[in-house]
Amino acid sequence: MVVHAMAPVIVGRDVELRRIADSFVQAAEGRPQLLIVLGEAGIGKTWLSREAIARARAAGSHVLAGSCLDIAGGGLPYLPVAEALRGLARAASPEELERILGPARDDLAAIVPELAAVAAKAGGTSTDATAMAEARGASGPSDISQARLFERFIGVLNRLCADKPGMAVVDDVQWIDRASRDLLTFLVRNVTTERLVAILTCRMDDLPRGHPVLAWLAELSRAPGGERIELGRLDAASVGQMREAITGRPSRADETALLWRRSEGNPLFVAELLQEERLGTSAGIGRPASLVEILVARVAQLTPEAGHLVEAISVAGRQVDERLLALVAGTDEDGVARTLRHAIANGVLVVPAGGNGYQFRHELLREVVEQELLPGEARAIHERFAEALAERPELGDPSPAGAAAELAHHWARAGRATEAYHASIVAASAAEAVDAFGEALDHLERAIDLEVHLPESVQPSTAERLDVRRRAADVADLAGTFDRSIELTREALGMVDPTADPTTAGILHSRLGYLMWVAGQGPSAMAEHEMAVALVPEAPPSAERARVLASYGGALMGAGRYAESRSICEEAIACASAAGAESEESRARNMLGSDLVALGEVDAGLAELRQAREIAGRSGPPELVIVAYHNLALNLAQDDRFDEALVEARAGREAARRAGLERRFGQDLAALAADILVRRGRWAEADDVTREGLGLAQRRMVTAYLEAVRGRLQALRGDVEEASRRLDSLDRASIDPDVAAFVGQVRAETALAAGRPEDALAAVDEALGRLAGLDDSLWSSPLVALGLRALADLAEAGRAARDAAGVERASDRARPLVERAVALARVASTGSARAWLASARADGARIEGRADVAAAREAVDAWAAIGDAYALAVAQFRAAEAALRASGIRADVAAELRAAYRTAALVGARPLQHEIEGLAGRARVSLDAEEAPGPGEVGGAGEADEAGRTAPGVPAVEGVPGRAGDAAARRLGLSTREIEVLALVAGGLSNGEIAERLFITRKTAAVHVTHILDKLGVSNRVEAAMIAARVGLTGDDAAQAGT
């Protein structure tokens, strides 16, 4: 890492600097930018980033800048993040720093303890950082605490960039620690409108093909605003400019040419050759030495005392001060300072600006020195560092996790197995406390590997070895390495005698069940849960027994086995209550409540869910409270208690914000709130809420529920193409059954809106397949109703096309759905389920070619009772259509059509609005301007009408020609003149108006209409107009008829 410029001014990088400047323009407009700077060692990556930092600070921007170090054993957790925050703390006033850190200060103080004093300086309340870290880790490792820390950091970036675009720089990410990599990945996926320019630099020549860092950088570069900048070598002119900047005199052409030829345009090589020239040790014009040879020669010129200290600094791998070096070298601090002046004068070491120690002028130089050490020499230096840091821990890394990791690293590299084993376990605890799960796993894996090297006298007991593996399995799970977590859990199980310790064995089996479920091994997972319940003793009641029961109940609920889950959850509640385990009781009641609602015992289920929320509020943790709000709101919505559900959903969103877990839980909470708002007819609010939810999504990682709610809103408004794209992006096989059912509903509605009933049926069949074998009384009803609606459309299309076989196929395919609807009617426990089934009965009549006005009106009444505005409008439209089929234009449908039209237009349901307009035209019902909508919202806040009267026509049904379909009409047996007359009938014209348009007598027009009705096999003009619409001969063709 270069800590000062290779030259007083940067040269040869004008293009790259312009790109960075352009990125600030983009960021200022709310489009965050990520620049990944790549190149070989010494090419000037950090030189470029330091220049960019200087320019950003000169423009008044806040900057976060940190570097990664090449430290074996996983590195120090959050090392570049800690460096960046320390730099910010030095640059900003206490008041400004407190503003930027905001609520993240306490979380970040676990990584950078100095931040705990920020509030005191700014007049706030200080928090002890060590106590904070201990508190964070007291309940064991959790991905929730990591999620909160990461979300808090996004808040820091928001405040950092509040006044003008900010900059974040991480140098040398080829050595990035896993915790920092996880944080950066989260940030890149989640920043959306932050005015931020981020720069990552990476040395490419040390990374082999397929290295994980290369794959990671490739993924990041694909993010919006991401770009790779590959630095090439300097040309001769730039080398000449660099020579002039360093030497302070003009460069002759021959000098420039020689320097360029010897350095091959590598900026570091240029600087080193000029340094050799300055020191009088240049190789002249002879054969050019390699850069490594120059660096080795530079170190060889030091005095033996300086050389030994330089070797020690190379092993330290970081900036080191006189106090630590004195202990390692066995001398006094003044002697260290005097000796190192020689190394500084010879261009080996530097004292960085703002620093309080020594480090190499370039990381490549440090690597050269370390690699020149013999193995025994390196072990001896590591041992002296370990002994010094054990004696004086305050000389280690400032953060507890960093200090513990550094000490474990030195003991391990020194070959001191006993000390390394114990230090690794301590380091793992420190890493867990700051949610650095990857580093914690590395430390525990090292401890496991060291067990065989420990002397017999200090061998850990079986209980200690078991504890290490259980901890390692937990952090492996949290680090996302599920296979390794399963392996470690199995190792732990092998150390437990289930007869002597059934509780521990049971807990491990339960844990294995969860891990196997995550890995997609459902049946095996269930067997592990069953084993867990069988092992943990029933008496006395214990939190452990309650936990394994609740886990088993959750697995059964996830599999849709609600009746079985119910009995297990009831047992878990009794056990938890007796044991005083409130958190376990809340979890079990949460699942029991959902079970009961799914089984049709809605009031009892909601009572359990309310109690679960109340207990969670007392016992915590925060995530349990948020989940309790979510599940209560979801089940209230299932029971059509929309207003209550919306209150709970909003409370859950607020609880997630307060806990710093909005990105963890916010998408589904937003989806739930928007789902309710759509059903209440408050589509403008739903649009806003879904956009807020999408803003929380990790890029390309939107939850299935949110995608489905957003897609439904788009489809019902007429944007079928975008809705289809959104729904097609989902991995439907991995979605839980209840969400899969909703996704299937939305896919079917989207296909119907596009006039694709076959696609709608396919979506219904797939979703019903996911519900097969489940104790379902809720989710099947919409699917069955939509399937019958699609079949009714196909049957009507078949009749319009005189396709008797097609009509018969639709009827045959409807039978199993009708039977399922009858069965569902016996167990339907909610108003919406009953309303869907009423709609299904009306569509069943359509399949048979009947107009069941009573069934259609029953659906209207059912939807009106629950307040689902859009579904009510659809039911009103269908009821009017059925009445017109039955009675023709004598049917009194004006009020229903106007009410449906008003709702459709107010919410912006363009396809439905146009269907109503078409039916009203054929029925000669006026949708007067006074009946048309103005600004307003059905049941809620105002929403401007987006539909107007310009919506596109109803899409043609699959297999049926489009508009002006003369050929299709002729297949119905109609003559050319009859086709003209039918087009005018479809346009709502009377016999007199038809006669006037076609220049025939009224009597002749009447005769044509009678013949048309006979040929089509219908009893009135309205039914004839509907068939005309089916074949694509709609009222829009009336304007051209007879011309």
Q: What's the chain's length in residues?
A: 1043
Q: Which pLDDT tens digit goes with each residue over 841-868?
A: 999 999 999 999 999 999 999 999 999 9
The pairs formed by 21-30 with CB atoms below 8 angstroms and a separation of 24 or more are 21/55, 23/197, 23/225, 24/56, 24/59, 24/61, 24/165, 24/197, 26/225, 27/161, 27/165, 27/194, 27/195, 27/196, 27/197, 28/164, 28/165, 28/195, 30/193, 30/194, 30/195
Query: Would you state the pLDDT for residue 484?
Result: 94
Give the whole-angstrom CA distance, residue 629 versus residue 658: 14
Query: How far is Cα of residue 404 from the mean position of the Cα atoms in its chain?
Result: 32
Eight-class DSSP state of 162: S
Query: Would you state the pLDDT for residue 286?
Result: 43
The DSSP bridge partners found for residue 230 are 38
Helix (H, G, I), strand (E, B) or coil at 706: helix
677, 709 Cβ separation under 8 angstroms: no
DSSP state string for 916-931: HHHHHHHTT----TTT
Residue type (1 letter), 859: A
CA 338-340-344 angle, 5° bins: 120
Q: Are strands 349-350 and 359-360 parallel, antiparallel or unpaired?
A: antiparallel
572, 550 Cβ separation under 8 angstroms: yes
Tokens of 729: 């992006």
User: Is residue 337 exposed (0-12), middle (13-18) or buried (19+ Cβ within 10 Å)?
Assistant: middle
Give the whole-angstrom CA distance, residue 95 versus residue 159: 13
Give first-to-last CA distance, the chain, whole Å. 82
Backbone CA torsion sign across 568, 572, 573, 574: positive
Rg (C-alpha) for the chain, rounded Å, is 37
Query: Would you state the pLDDT for residue 133?
Result: 46
Task: CATH number for 14-92+161-232: choose from 2.30.42.10, 3.40.50.2000, 3.40.50.261, 3.40.50.300.
Answer: 3.40.50.300
Give the whole-angstrom CA distance, residue 275 versus residue 322: 26
- Residue whose C-alpha is closest to residue 1037's, from 966, 975, 952: 966
Tokens of 904: 């459709």
Tokens of 76: 């120090």
301-372 in CATH: which number? 1.10.10.10
CA 348-230-240 angle, 5° bins: 55
DSSP state string for 729-752: TS-GGGS-HHHHHHHHHHHHHHHH
Domain with CATH 3.40.50.300 in the chain: 14-92+161-232
Tokens of 694: 């999408």
Q: What is the 3-state secondary structure (H, E, C) of 956-1007?
A: CCCCCCCCCCHHHHHHCCCCHHHHHHHHHHHCCCCHHHHHHHHCCCHHHHHH
Domain with CATH 1.10.10.10 in the chain: 301-372, 966-1040
Neighbours of 353 (CB within 10 A): 7
What fold characterizes domain 966-1040?
A: Arc Repressor Mutant, subunit A (1.10.10)
- Residue whose C-alpha is closest to residue 424's, from 400, 450, 399: 450
**190 Cβ neighbours under 8 A, 6+ residues apart:** 150, 154, 663, 696, 697, 698, 699
Low-confidence ranges of the chain (pLDDT < 50): 1-5, 126-139, 283-288, 929-964, 1038-1040, 1042-1043
Q: Are strands 33-39 and 226-230 parallel, antiparallel or unpaired?
A: parallel
Give the whole-angstrom CA distance, residue 313 versus residue 325: 8
Give the whole-angstrom CA distance, residue 730 versus residue 723: 12
The single residue listed with the structure tokens 């989207």 is 750
**28 Cβ neighbours under 8 A, 6+ residues apart:** 164, 165, 195
188, 219 Cβ separation under 8 angstroms: no
The DSSP bridge partners found for residue 228 are 36
What is the torsion angle, in degrees rounded to the nearest 10, for the CA atoms of residue 730, residue 731, residue 733 and residue 736?
A: -60
C-alpha distances (whole Å) from 69 to each of 64, 72, 187, 381 are: 17, 9, 21, 18
Say what the pTM is: 0.76
**524 Cβ neighbours under 8 A, 6+ residues apart:** 516
Helix (H, G, I), strand (E, B) or coil at 848: coil
DSSP H or E run through 768: helix 757-770
Neighbours of 692 (CB within 10 A): 17
502, 538 Cβ separation under 8 angstroms: no
